[in-house]
A = this chain, B = another copy of it.
Amino acid sequence: MNNSGQHSQQFTSLRQSCAACGLSELCLPVSLDEVDTRKLDAIVERHKPLRGGEHIYRADDWFRAVYAVRSGSVKTYTLTDRGEEQITGFHFPGELVGLDAINSWVHPCSAVALETTSVCVLPYVQLESLAADIPGLQRKLMQLMSREIFSDQEMLFSMARRSAEERLAMLLLNFSGRFQRRGLSATRFRLPMARTELGNYIGLAPETMSRLFRRFSEQGCLKAEGRELQLLDLDRLADLAGRECPACAPEDRRGGN
């Protein structure tokens, strides 16, 4: 539809190598030797950064490559049959986007930058043949996909039965852990997305999100100023996320009996 000009700017000197990338521990090249890393380097395309709101690909686009987030953040989403946006994931530096298209060769969801974001483009056909050459790369790819399956399932069964409070606590802890893996603070970070979007992702109405943030603040385990978050009590959040369901509070179960 829209999408600004994207005036051709292929001249950017983006030949930063995988070897020099600070995310190599999180991304693909882990455990590759110098030669293999160079081979990988040779197929990676790096373009100029995307601005917030620009799409990496759209649902139903032909699948050509997977994308490694290098900086910034990415949101993936589909449109429901009712035309509403349904967010399927948030992706931070060191994480891959587009793996769900390998099976059908068509992207089942759209991916859009939430802020200024740069990604490494990994053309899939070449990545595949490279993986056949380099056992370590093949293994790493499989591991990444396996982890994606696992974390999706974890989210899945988290959503199924858990209360709104539990869902939000889990999401905050999930973010906390992912920021920490990147060497950032586990307790203090800035959300790149609106609260509405967080709510969309975990299946809660914006109003509920607002009330939850206030409740968490009142309980002293959270401080929020706009998108700037500070987790004040990780233990308490873990309690909120895990234990403490209506059915297992030791005292106070319903009026009678």
Contacts and interface: CB of A to CB of B under 8 A. Distances in A.
Contact of A103 (B99, B143, B245): B143
B144 A103 contact: yes
A5 B70 CA distance: 53
Interface in A98-156: 99-104, 108-109, 128-129, 131-132, 135, 138-139, 141-150, 152-156
Nearest to A244: B82
Contact of A142 (B141, B242, B247): B141
A153 B100 contact: yes
A144 to B, nearest CB: 7
Interface in A211-249: 242-243, 245, 247-248
Nearest to A87: B157
Given A156-B155, A156-B159, A243-B82, A100 B131 contact: no
Contacts of A129: 135
Given A128-B138, A159-B156, A146 B82 contact: no
A153 B88 contact: yes
Contacts of A71: none
A171 to B, nearest CB: 12
Contacts of A156: 88, 152, 155-156, 159
A187 interface: no
**Total copies of the chain:** 2
Contact of A152 (B102, B149, B242): B149
Interface in A146-189: 146-150, 152-157, 159-161
A78 interface: yes
A192 interface: no
Contacts of A132: 132, 135, 138
A142 B88 contact: no
A53 interface: no
A30 to B, nearest CB: 13
15 contacts: A78-B157, A81-B243, A88-B156, A100-B150, A102-B143, A108-B153, A109-B153, A132-B135, A132-B138, A145-B145, A145-B146, A145-B149, A149-B149, A159-B159, A160-B201
Interface of A: 78, 81-82, 86-89, 99-104, 108-109, 128-129, 131-132, 135, 138-139, 141-150, 152-157, 159-161, 201-203, 242-243, 245, 247-248
